[in-house]
Amino acid sequence: MALDKTTRDYIAGLKASNIDWRQDERGRYRIRILGRGENGFYEESPGRALLFELVAGESAIFSKSIRRWDDGRKVSDADKDVVLKRLVAYLGHDGAPVIVR
């Protein structure tokens, strides 16, 4: 199931924006919390990106929202694990607990 054009355009705009890249043992990636902290943007090099749901104030990530890359492909379980690991590290950067639902 492909993403609608509005969502694809929104992700393309985020990919073109100036968000700092991070690096770990698996490669480069970047994360941005959007709006009022209810959605987030995740991109990894080379160019795969997705949107996900969270509650930033409570450091809660909704893992079921991590389901499709911007090219319409399903996020594999292995990829989802990597994305969640990176999101937990990003949200829990001060040692605060992060809830994955």
pLDDT one-digit tens code per residue, 10-68: 999 999 999 999 999 999 999 999 999 999 999 998 789 999 999 988 889 999 999 99
Q: Model-level pTM?
A: 0.91
Which pLDDT score is estimated for 46? 79
Facing residues of 29 across strands? Answer: 22, 44
| Alpha carbons 72 and 1: distance in angstroms, whole number | 6
Whether 95 shows a pLDDT value over 70: the answer reads: no
Distance separating alpha carbons of residues 95 and 77, to the nearest angstrom: 26
User: Could you say which DSSP state residue 54 is in?
Assistant: E
